[in-house]
Amino acid sequence: MSLRALARRALPPPLRALLEQFLERRRRAIRYKQTRQSPTDYVAEFDHRSFRKAKASILWHDDWEQATRQTLRVLRQVGLVRDGQTVIDYGCGVGRITRALAETYRLRLLAVDRSADMRRHARRYIPERCFREGGVELLSDTDLFERLPRLAGSVDTILFIEVLQHIPEPILDTLLPRLLPVLSPGGRLFVLGNEHLDVDAAGRLAPRSSPVADVLERYSRTLRRDVWTDGFAHPRFSFLCSAAPQPSPR
């Protein structure tokens, strides 16, 4: 049994709470950037040469396999992914959800991540046959942006799994309007993760900064909101959205 587990059993609740706060500060000091040069700097550092550290930066407290299986169950329960669809996995990281989807469905998957290190890990983590058979393409965000005009109206689902909350709000204010036009008429945007952003519109860090729901409502219509607890160490919040109709010309 770990020292942390022993402490949880032995310490009274007030001391356990203090221990958890101390450990969380230690984890944040290791994981988060100490200085930020701009309001559009990410808080979390995701460029890891080590695959182990890359995985650890994605899921802190969760069991990797269990959380992945539960995420697939969430997608099934929402009725979001089906064979034959085109899906963008934005912020794919090492390819955790891309791989799970490719091994479960017959899809065209565009796995997108801004980090060259994450894409390098994804290239190794996702089985080669997924690339060879044409189901998965691994792209940088720049690659995706160059393709957006050709993708207009053709994408069934855009996924932000454990990622949108980490994107600074100033970036989301340019990213979402660019991405949403690629959705087909019945296409959906799906967000799973925290309910608040790490970085608000002014680039400030706060324990409870801008709600994800408020940012989504500026650019899309939220059709469904859920909280998921089974299979996750901490509750996950999800938002199922459609593209907002364009305002009529005056």
- pLDDT mean over 23-46: 67
| Residue 162 near residue 100 (C-beta atoms within 8 A) | no
Task: Read off the pLDDT of residues 158-216 as tens digits, 9 standing for 90 and up.
Answer: 999 999 999 999 999 999 999 999 999 999 999 999 999 999 998 888 766 799 999 99
- The closest of 76, 143, 88 to 114, measured between CA atoms, is 143
- Choice among 4-18, 34-48, 135-149 with the minimum mean pLDDT: 4-18
Q: What is the mean pLDDT of the chain?
A: 88
Kindly state the tokens that stand for 67: 């959380």
Task: Read off the pLDDT of residues 162-178 as tens digits, 9 standing for 90 and up.
Answer: 999 999 999 999 999 99
**What pLDDT is stored for residue 87 in this prediction?**
98
| Number of neighbours of residue 17 by Cβ within 10 angstroms | 11
**What pLDDT is stored for residue 106 in this prediction?**
94
**What pLDDT is stored for residue 250 in this prediction?**
44
Task: Read off the pLDDT of residues 97-137 as tens digits, 9 standing for 90 and up.
Answer: 999 999 999 999 999 999 999 999 999 999 999 998 879 99
Q: Phi then psi for 44, rounded to 5 degrees?
A: -80, 145
Which of 1.10.645.10, 3.50.50.60, 3.40.50.150, 3.40.250.10 is the CATH number of 59-243?
3.40.50.150
| Residue 241 near residue 215 (C-beta atoms within 8 A) | no
| Residue 58 near residue 162 (C-beta atoms within 8 A) | yes
Segment (H or E) for 193 = strand 183-193
